[in-house]
Structures are given as C-alpha cells and as structure tokens.
C-alpha cells in the first residue's frame, strides 16, 4: 500500500462541513474557546521522497500532543478547525494525512468518509479491540481508507484489525533490536506496509531500510551526517562567500545586482519569484533591474540568500523546504529586524545541508555572531523564536504559551509560503 496516495476528485468541502457541524453546536452552546495547535511531520519512502504527512496537534495549554476525541467534546471541533484554517489540501499539498483518532470517533460514524484520499485514521496501540470498533474499521477499509496502526506491538486482540490494516508504524526507539526483528517476523505474514517511526539519523535510516521498511518518519534529514571534511566542498564555499557578502551591512543594491547578474540561474530564479503568486504584481517584471527596484534592498538580500542555498549540491528537497518553513516562521514571529530572524531560521539547517558542524561552517564563512549565537545556543530573542519554531515543527507545543495567539497561524502561513515557493522554483 502506497503511503502517499494522490488526492482524487472528492467533495472535500462537503466532507469538512459534515465533520464540523456536530461539534460546532456543542462549542457555541457551551460558550467554549480552546487554543489548538497543528503541525505536520513528513513521511518518506525508501528513496527519501516525501509521500505523506502525519498531522500533530494539541488542544489547550497542557498536553504536548493530542488526538481527535469522541463527538460529545467541543475541543474536537477546534482541532479540526485548525486543520481547515488553511485547507487540508494546502497543509499537506494534497498528500495523505495521517490523523490519530480514538475508537469512539470512528464508531460514532462522524469520520469524513468523502475524503479517503486526504485522511487516514491512525489507531494508537493503547486501545481495546471490540466488535463495534472492528465494524467501524471494516466499513472505512471497504470505502478505500488507508488504515494505520500506530506504535504497534503485536498481541492476539489485534488479529481482526491486522487483516484490515494497510500501514503499521513501529517505534524504532521504543523497541530493542531483538523486539523489532520479532515484530517484523510476525508482520511479514500480513499484507501491510511497514513504517519505521522516530528515525533520528541517516545511519538509522540506512539500517531500517536494510531491514525492509518501506516508509520512514522522523527527523533524520535534519540531523547532519558529519563527514571527515576540513574544508567545505567548492560549491558550498562559493555560496557561503556570497552569503557572507550579503550579510555585510555595508553592501548596497548595486553590489547585489552585480552578484546576481553574474549568475544566470540565480537571476532567472529571482525573476520567477517576483512574478509568482508570492507577490502578484500587476504586469510582468521582465528585467533584473526592475525586480531589484520593486523588491527593495532588504527583501532582495533575503531572496538572494535563500536562492543561493537552493544551488547547494545534493541537498534533499524536503530539507530545503524545512529550512524555508523555519525561515518564514521566524520572520513572521519577529517583533522587528525580520530579515535577521529569517536568516537565522534559514541557516539553522546549514549543518545538515553541508554535512559539517555549524561552528566550523560559521568559522570558515566568518558569519556574524548575531547569527551564530541564536542558532548554536538559542540565545536572545531571535534564538527564542527559533526554539519555538523548531518545537512547533516537531509537534512539541508546550513552549508556545508566550505567542500562542500567533504561532499556529504563523506556522500554517509558513508552510503555505514554502510550498508556493517550492512550486515556483520547480516550475522555473
């Protein structure tokens, strides 16, 4: 079973409203307001291509994560509404969204059956299996839903559900090697896809790849695979020299124009951005000079910095996308000096992109300390915003209290911005 089923034509608007209405009444009748946060975590195939997401969310200000609840609770409406604030298709780019659910929600019959290509119910391993749940899962499976079992450890009670399951998630950090091999041995007799959950490093990805897992979830792309390098590869060194120049406070627009005009690919990318939906300027901007005038000095530096990183060799597209989301979320949450916040977010994954410790990159590139300290030790206001951004990215929401009113909307805006930018660069 492919974890990344493509969206087909379905009446998603109807499905959303049908799912929301039973909860909306409870919310209004009780006069309840609840903070809710949502983040997405990518899921990769054996080629490290992103195929789907798990949606992580939390209600209120106490839990780190949450799950969709029974239909008699008002908080479920708030959680679902946070998914729909931007549109589920936009949050997941039309990819399948894994959503942790309770048996009560499935048994209630309120799970949105019109969107089998957008939503996949994920059952936790803490539940008890009974006939009503088996009936509900059987119905969803018959309708074409992808059925997922999360943090799975085999026991006899799972027999009827295993026959219906499509994806089994094994927590590779919670199981010993022997326990993991035992689970694989049991599950190979079922027609399911194995997903390795909490894969933290590239070496772990390679190991579980060799064990036969088809899907992988975790932060392994964001962890640098440190190589025995004393210097940056030539491509990286050139780009970091450019970035150093751009971060020089004395550099002017004419200097930046000369830099961009010497790199045809960079100039084409910049024009693609200016003419994209990110700006929607009236009429086409067809010259580099006009683009520079329209953007302004600070905006120009920001774009040239970002676009230069897209030229790095052998950087996974998902990692670059993650850096874009971090950069834009830091910028959006910045109280001032937004360009510096943006750059810190963007550079926070340089070690993973280049394969060198960040302190060595900073030293070799002579990056200013005001960029280094927030990244290395999350120092100062910029470092605090970066820490919040990373926590949000990982679905750890307890640190969001200071900016709870803005963090969720900033995150949703940032992933939409990064998705739009990625599509623009791909088209260009």
Please provide the average confidence, as pLDDT, over all residues in the chain: 78
When comparing pLDDT for 133 and 19, which is higher?
A: 133
97-130 pLDDT, tens digit per residue, is: 898 888 888 888 777 777 788 889 999 888 889 9
**411 pLDDT exceeds 90?**
no
24 and 137, same domain (yes or no)? yes
Whether 4 maps to a domain, the answer reads: no
Domain that holds residue 376: 234-427
238 and 218, same domain (yes or no)? no
353-363 pLDDT, tens digit per residue, is: 887 888 888 88
Whether 2 maps to a domain, the answer reads: no
156 and 207, same domain (yes or no)? yes
27-79 pLDDT, tens digit per residue, is: 333 344 445 567 788 899 998 888 998 887 665 444 444 544 443 343 344 34
When comparing pLDDT for 109 and 232, which is higher?
A: 109
| Contact in structure between 15 and 112 (CB atoms under 8 Å) | yes
31 and 165, same domain (yes or no)? yes
User: Span 220-228, mean pLDDT?
Assistant: 60
82 and 190, same domain (yes or no)? yes
Give the Cα separation of 318 and 238 in Å (integer).
23
Q: Which residues, at least 6 apart from 119, have a Cβ–Cβ distance to it below 8 Å? A: 88, 96, 97, 99, 111, 112, 145
Domain with residue 421: its CATH number is 1.10.3210.10
User: Span 303-322, mean pLDDT?
Assistant: 83
**323 pLDDT exceeds 80?**
yes
49 and 142, same domain (yes or no)? yes
**395 pLDDT exceeds 70?**
yes
317 and 406, same domain (yes or no)? yes
pLDDT at 87: 65
Whether 407 maps to a domain, the answer reads: yes
Domain with residue 120: its CATH number is 3.20.20.450
User: Span 286-312, mean pLDDT?
Assistant: 82
pLDDT at 219: 82
| Contact in structure between 412 and 85 (CB atoms under 8 Å) | yes
Q: State the total domains in the chain.
A: 2
**3 pLDDT exceeds 70?**
no
Whether 227 maps to a domain, the answer reads: no
Which of 202, 222, 242 marks a domain boundary? 222
216 and 94, same domain (yes or no)? yes
In 177-297, the DSSP E strands lie at 193-197, 215-217
Lowest mean pLDDT among 32-46, 134-148, 331-345, 385-399: 32-46
pLDDT at 12: 37
Lowest mean pLDDT among 122-126, 130-134, 253-257, 332-336: 253-257
User: Span 232-260, mean pLDDT?
Assistant: 75
144 and 86, same domain (yes or no)? yes
Q: Of the spans 53-62, 93-102, 149-158, 305-314, which averages the highest pLDDT?
A: 149-158
109 and 249, same domain (yes or no)? no
Burial 189-201 (b: 16+ CB within 10 A, else e): eeebbbbbbbbee
pLDDT at 115: 75
pLDDT at 8: 35
By C-alpha distance, which of 96, 91, 102, 98 is closest to 124?
102
**241 pLDDT exceeds 90?**
no
> What is the percent of the chain where pLDDT is above 90?
30
* Alpha carbon separation from 423 to 77, 245, 265, 416 (Å, rounded): 31, 28, 16, 11
Confidence of residue 208 (pLDDT cuts 50, 70, 90): very high
Phi, psi for 116 (deg, rounded to 5)? -65, -20
109 and 139, same domain (yes or no)? yes
Which of 194, 222, 250 marks a domain boundary? 222
By C-alpha distance, which of 428, 110, 423, 33 is closest to 270?
428
**232 pLDDT exceeds 60?**
no
User: Span 257-265, mean pLDDT?
Assistant: 80
Whether 6 maps to a domain, the answer reads: no
Which of 193, 222, 251 marks a domain boundary? 222
Whether 5 maps to a domain, the answer reads: no
| Contact in structure between 364 and 231 (CB atoms under 8 Å) | yes
* Alpha carbon separation from 27 to 63, 65, 264 (Å, rounded): 20, 21, 55
């Amino acid at each position: 079973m492919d974890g990344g089923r493509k969206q087909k034509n379905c009446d998603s608007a109807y499905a959303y409203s049908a799912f929301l209405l039973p909860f909306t009444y409870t919310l209004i009748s009780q006069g309840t307001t609840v903070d809710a946060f949502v983040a997405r975590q990518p899921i990769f195939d054996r080629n490290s291509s992103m195929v789907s997401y798990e949606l992580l969310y939390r209600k209120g200000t106490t839990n780190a994560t949450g799950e969709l609840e029974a239909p008699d609770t008002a908080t479920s409406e708030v959680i679902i509404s946070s998914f729909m604030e931007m549109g589920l298709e936009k949050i997941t780019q039309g990819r399948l969204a894994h959503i942790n659910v309770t048996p009560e929600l499935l048994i209630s019959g309120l799970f949105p059956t019109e969107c089998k290509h957008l939503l996949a119910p994920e059952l936790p391993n803490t539940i008890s299996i009974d006939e009503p749940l088996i009936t509900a899962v059987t119905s969803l499976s018959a309708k074409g839903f992808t059925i997922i079992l999360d943090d799975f450890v085999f026991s006899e009670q799972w027999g009827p559900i295993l026959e219906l399951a499509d994806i089994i998630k094994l927590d590779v950090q919670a199981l010993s090697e022997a326990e993991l091999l035992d689970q694989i041995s049991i599950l190979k007799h079922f027609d399911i896809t194995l997903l390795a959950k909490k894969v933290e490093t590239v070496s772990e990805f390679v190991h579980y790849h060799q064990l036969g897992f088809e899907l992988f979830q975790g932060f392994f792309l964001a962890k640098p695979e440190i190589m025995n390098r004393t210097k940056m590869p030539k491509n990286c060194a050139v780009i970091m020299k450019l970035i150093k120049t751009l971060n020089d406070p004395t550099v002017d627009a004419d200097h930046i124009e000369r830099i961009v005009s010497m790199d045809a690919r960079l100039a084409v990318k910049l024009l693609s951005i200016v003419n994209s939906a990110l700006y929607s300027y009236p009429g086409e901007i067809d010259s580099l000079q006009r683009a520079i005038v329209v953007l302004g000095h600070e905006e120009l530096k920001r774009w040239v910095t970002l676009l230069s990183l897209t030229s790095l060799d052998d950087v996974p597209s998902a990692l670059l996308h993650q850096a874009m989301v971090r950069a834009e979320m830091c910028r959006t949450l910045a109280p001032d000096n937004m360009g510096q916040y943006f750059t810190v977010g963007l550079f926070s994954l340089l070690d993973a992109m280049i394969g060198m410790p960040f302190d060595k990159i900073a030293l070799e590139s002579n990056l200013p300390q005001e960029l280094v300290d927030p990244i290395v030790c999350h120092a100062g206001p910029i470092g605090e915003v970066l820490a919040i951004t990373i926590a949000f990215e990982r679905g750890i929401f307890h640190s969001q209290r200071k900016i709870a009113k803005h963090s969720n909307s900033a995150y949703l805006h940032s992933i939409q911005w990064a998705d739009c930018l990625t599509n623009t660069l791909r088209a260009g």
